[in-house]
Amino acid sequence: MPKKKKRKEFQALKGMRDLLPPDTAWWDKLIKTGEDLARDFGFQKIETPVIEDAELFIRGTGATTDIVSKQMYFIKTAGGTSLALRPEGTPGVVRAYMENGLASLPQPIKLFYFGPMFRHEQPQAGRWRQFYQFGLEVFGDSGAVLDAQIIQFCFNLFKAVGLKKINIHINSLGCPQCRPAYRRVLLDYYRYRKDRVCPDCKRRLKENPLRLLDCKEEKCQPIKSQAPASVDHLCDECRKHFKEVLEFLDELEIPYFLNSALVRGLDYYTKTIFEIFWEEEGLAPGALGGGGRYDNLVKELGGKPTPAVGVALGLDRIVALMKKEEVKVGSEPNFKVFLVQLGLMGKKKSLKLFEKLHQAGILAAESLSRDSIKAQMKIADKLGVKFALILGQQEALDGTVIIRDMQSGVQETVPQEKVVEELKKRFRK
Ligand code: AMP
């Protein structure tokens, strides 16, 4: 007899996972707090598709970045079009801004988004292939005050979800006027030391010299620490802009750390860049979020020159920290009554009664899948509700319900249409 083929057991793909209760309570708290705060700061929500033309990221995020060259999920359609699962949010939002005429509305346009991003990375702590970002983008204003407002938002959000020990690292990468000169200085510095750097840095020297400062290899650190800093090579405008950002942060009493090795892994940044870290090193793998100004991206992608600034926060890592720090999240709903049902007739009527109570704003717990009165009363007791509502065969026929005071055990039968009124009377006592 041929051997029966074992049925396949499905599993989530490597680096991807389900978000399950009770963890989803932390997720909900973080997202709700973020959305409320973003609205308070004058941002409006935008949602863009998770699949875009691959070219959008190749030109936007940058062809030589790790995100695009190593980690992006490409999809080939039957017609041969090259699509990509978005590895980050900004290029899609820029496309939407251009495509939907947002540029012709009064500026600035302040948008926020939340959603999954995809990067084919080696999964490890805090690194997933599907992960979630909450981001802000501001279009149409070059003022340093907006850079500061975005950082202020992040600072407030972390505080609001109970994470106070964050560090903000900040740097300025200059603009197309001053960056080429800095790039030359950096190249000169590294060229003399190229025999002493790692193979990755040798490649960076050719492809993307700014990323040399991003190297985590032990042997490159002494060279990196002495490397020329971009802030020492800014043009007057960029220097003034960066000084203003820092002055706004000082005014807000938001602590920051000037990190001349900060470059960010994306190509489009100009002027201010920043990343947010957890204070206790080792407790959080990598940054919790990062952002900066990208004054040339809209133009690069085919729009009119439009200054812009934004941030993307890594929700997976933030939720992990909220758990670790045992941040309190919304507890169980505050049930006021427990609905006990007996027999088919009782069960039939109980859903309707549940609906009635819900509409009246009386939170009712139930255990519709249980049939034994004892088991149901036990749960009611555990939940600590004041009253149980008992709906059996007889009550269903009579159109009544029994209200049982859980503490005294006193029971009273009332007509179903009066139950809300009767309960309200008892709650007032
Ligand atoms: P990036 O713009 O690439 O710096 O990403 C912004 C934030 O998203 C990072 O600071 C991380 O918190 C988060 N992030 C990036 N990649 C991943 C990943 N593979 N898994 C989980 N979180 C990530």
User: Is 14 inside a domain boundary?
Assistant: no
Three-class secondary structure of residue 75 per DSSP: strand
If asked whether residues 294 and 383 sit together in one domain, one would say no
Nearest to 264 by CA among 308, 201, 210: 210
> What share of the chain in percent tops pLDDT 70?
98
If asked whether residues 353 and 401 sit together in one domain, one would say yes
pLDDT at position 6 is: 83
pLDDT at position 158 is: 97
Q: What is the CATH number of the domain that holds 402?
A: 3.40.50.800
pLDDT in tens, 140-154: 999 999 999 999 999
If asked whether residues 297 and 167 sit together in one domain, one would say yes
If asked whether residues 163 and 301 sit together in one domain, one would say yes
If asked whether residues 60 and 92 sit together in one domain, one would say yes
The pick from 68, 117, 167 for probing ligand 1's pocket by mutation, whose C-beta has the most ligand atoms within 8 angstroms, reads 117
In whole angstroms, what is the distance from residue 61 CA to residue 88 CA?
8
Of 293, 324, 355, which residue constitutes the final position of a domain?
324
If asked whether residues 73 and 141 sit together in one domain, one would say yes
**DSSP at 228:** P
pLDDT at position 5 is: 77
In whole angstroms, what is the distance from residue 277 CA to residue 279 CA?
6
Distances (CA, A) of 313 to 58, 131, 351, 352: 22, 11, 42, 44
pLDDT in tens, 163-191: 999 999 999 999 999 999 999 999 999 99
**Which residues surround ligand 1 with Cβ inside 6 Å?**
88, 119, 121, 126-128, 131, 133, 265, 287-290, 312, 314, 316-317
pLDDT at position 211 is: 87
Q: Assign residue 371 a region: left if phi > 0, alpha if psi is -120 to 50, beta otherwise? A: alpha
**DSSP at 195:** G
CA–centroid distance, residue 133 to ligand 1 (Å):
8
pLDDT at position 420 is: 96
If asked whether residues 402 and 287 sit together in one domain, one would say no
Average pLDDT, the chain: 94
If asked whether residues 342 and 319 sit together in one domain, one would say no
User: Is 125 inside a domain boundary?
Assistant: yes
Give the nearest ligand 1 atom to 275 CA. Answer: 10
Of 300, 324, 348, which residue constitutes the final position of a domain?
324
User: Is 199 inside a domain boundary?
Assistant: no
Give the nearest ligand 1 atom to 318 CA. Answer: 12
Of 297, 324, 351, which residue constitutes the final position of a domain?
324
Confidence of residue 298 (pLDDT cuts 50, 70, 90): very high
pLDDT at position 87 is: 98
pLDDT at position 38 is: 98
What residue owns the CA closest to ligand 1's atom 14?
314
User: Is 404 inside a domain boundary?
Assistant: yes
If asked whether residues 312 and 281 sit together in one domain, one would say yes
pLDDT in tens, 67-81: 999 999 999 998 989
Tally of domains in the chain: 2
User: Is 207 inside a domain boundary?
Assistant: no
User: Is 349 inside a domain boundary?
Assistant: yes
Nearest to 54 by CA among 30, 71, 35, 33: 71
If asked whether residues 243 and 164 sit together in one domain, one would say yes
Nearest to 209 by CA among 200, 218, 222, 196: 200
Residue 414, domain extent: 337-423
Mean pLDDT of 237-264: 96
If asked whether residues 349 and 404 sit together in one domain, one would say yes
Distances (CA, A) of 257 to 2, 26, 170, 260: 68, 29, 6, 9
Q: What is the CATH number of the domain that holds 80?
A: 3.30.930.10
User: Is 210 inside a domain boundary?
Assistant: no
If asked whether residues 137 and 97 sit together in one domain, one would say yes
Q: What is the pTM of this model?
A: 0.91
User: Is 332 inside a domain boundary?
Assistant: no
